[in-house]
Structure 1
């Protein structure tokens, strides 16, 4: 159970970095050349990898690769939704709810014995 907890906490933190690396430049560096945005994003993503790689290595000691990927996707959407709402000021639609239900189905099936 300790491995799963480390995995989930690690993936939450790494996804915060990843989400900012992938999307924050659309708001903060929109007036800069794409190369500047890419360099800043790579700099942020470096810290994402420092957290994500050990989290996945530890998680893989108790979970299959498919289970790791589904957990990653659930955490990604869980981090992305508040980011898009509060940081990027995007409007939420019902499609986010349907996507969440699909991910719950994926969790069910990947962990089903």
Structure 2
């Protein structure tokens, strides 16, 4: 039993490694289960047994690493994280003074309601 489980684990690792390499090289649409099987030196049936469908393999192989947060006080974090987006908006907006900044929205309550908020005018 131990050898069989070890072989299956080894096959799973080979399938995931092959899928990750192929998706990175060719993109999702250009990769087939047969391609992954060839790269992993396994049969297509074994790829399906160890890794599942192509979409499942893609989702497991596509890792997203979020950027590290800047070392700033928590109260400034939103402004610092949104700075690149605001800069891009300013470059493409007709009038930089008319841009409705999200951080200003949160500071402008609508009269008569503590829960409603509106953009600054």
Tell me the TM-score range normalised by the shorter chain: 0.3 to 0.5
Higher helix share: 1
State the TM-score, normalizing by the size of structure 2.
0.32
Ranked by relative contact order (alpha carbons within 8 Å, sequence separation 6 or more), the top structure is: 1
Q: Which has the larger radius of gyration?
A: 2
Question: TM-score by structure 1 length?
Answer: 0.34
